[in-house]
Amino acid sequence: MGPLVKELQRHPDWFDTRLVVTGQHRQQLQQALAYFDLVPDVDLDIMKEQQSLAYVATAAIAGLDKVMEADRPDIVLAHGDTQTTFCAGLTAFFHRVPVGHVEAGLRSFNKYSPWPEEINRRLVDVVSDIYFAPTEVGRQNLLAEGYQENIYVTGQTAVDAALSTYRKDYTFMETRLNELLRHPGRIIAMTAHRRENYGEPMRQMFSAVRRVVDDNPDVLLIYPVHLSPIVRQAAAEGLQGHERIQLLEPIEFPDMVNLLARSYMVMSDSGGLQEESTVFSRPMVLMRDTTERPEAVEAGAVYLAGTAEADIYRVASRLLSDSEFYNRMASAKNPFGDGHASARIVQILAHYFGFTETLPDEFRFDEER
């Protein structure tokens, strides 16, 4: 949401923008806010140790209820599929406040994968009044579910953020990266954190990753480890102690973007990295059984490998040994936008509230398109 908040703030004649955060993940939130030079108007600060999904939901709804009562907003914008997004949409509905869902229409069609995100995004779409779908696939998903009005294909705001963050002469805030990226061989950037992969799937993933690095002496793998205690324990057990596997603390968004851009390939179970790796033409081995971003798989930029050790190892090894296969994935077209999604969303909102009389043709969609 960072680029969208900045774009909204550039139009004070149209919008009085208030930034509300729940504080669901404190460290990652602070990193993102600092990079975009954003200061929340309201910080609910709900995070506690060993928080459950039920706690996050109830605490967020209770806090957001007070915000809605005090501010009486004309619209609430929420992004994606987090607990915070669903809670914001539901609380706005309780107060009869319109909801705009940024990144609407993504579907894996499996309610437990990703978990709980698939249900979060479905539920927030139920209470939304205006839908900003990143791609035509998202719009078609919404139409198939019976949503008919105020659906716009805008591109993905994450692409805006990634393109504006990359620098050819970038100096990393995580100082170890400045040294690690001098590695003369190939670099694999990795993340892993999904709840549905806890336990045996994650052990399989890490075993595959270690085998890939063992079999390719020129490869250095860099993994900023998620703060989840479950993930950190699994990473320590499966990956620690290998001289060419570097386990880092979580890194800030601009560091991650610029690491991706300088890597040979990506291995991850992330949602957003499916878009960002594609922006920088870096083939990605997606260590998941489903994806809500099938556009990247269909384009050939992402390979849905599953979580079995043998399958992950096979795909990653092929990318490292088969130049034709690698080049085909690296040359895949980016389906997620051109870096102007936030500007489109603001223009659509201006039209929605009557500040502008018409929309540009690119924002008009009908059954024939």
Is residue 155 within 8 Å of 243, Cβ to Cβ?
no
Whether 193 is a known active-site residue: answer yes
Is residue 274 within 8 Å of 255, Cβ to Cβ?
no
Is residue 96 within 8 Å of 58, Cβ to Cβ?
no
Q: Give me the catalytic one of 81, 118, 252, 289.
A: 81
For 188, which DSSP code?
E
Q: Give me the catalytic one of 11, 195, 314, 351.
A: 195
Residue 40: alpha-carbon gap to chain centroid:
20
Whether 103 is a known active-site residue: answer yes
Q: Which of 146, 158, 164, 140 lies closest to 81, judged by CA?
A: 158
Strand 245-248, strand 130-133: pairing: unpaired
Reply yes or no: is the peptide bond before residue 114 cis, omega within 30 of 0: yes
What angle is formed at CA 303 by the lines to CA 301 and CA 305, rounded to 5 degrees?
165
What angle is formed at CA 131 by the lines to CA 127 and CA 135, rounded to 5 degrees?
135
What is the distance between the alpha carbons of residues 278 and 302, in angstroms, rounded to a whole number? 8
Strand, helix or coil for residue 304: strand
Q: Give me the catalytic one of 101, 194, 210, 226.
A: 226
- In sequence order, what DSSP letters do the residues of 195-216 get, joined into one string? GGGTTHHHHHHHHHHHHHHHH-
Q: Give me the catalytic one of 7, 103, 160, 255.
A: 103
What is the distance between the alpha carbons of residues 142 and 1, in angstroms, rounded to a whole number? 21
Q: Give me the catalytic one of 7, 25, 79, 117.
A: 117
What is the distance between the alpha carbons of residues 319 and 332, in angstroms, rounded to a whole number? 14
What is the distance between the alpha carbons of residues 190 and 260, in angstroms, rounded to a whole number? 9
Q: Give me the catalytic one of 139, 193, 210, 344.
A: 193
Whether 81 is a known active-site residue: answer yes
Is residue 320 within 8 Å of 214, Cβ to Cβ?
no
* Residue that has been written with the tokens 């998941």 in this structure: 288
Q: What residues have CB less than 8 Å from 149, skipping those under 6 apart?
A: none
Residue 115: alpha-carbon gap to chain centroid:
14
For 353, which DSSP code?
T
- The catalytic site residues sit at 81, 103, 117, 193, 195, 226
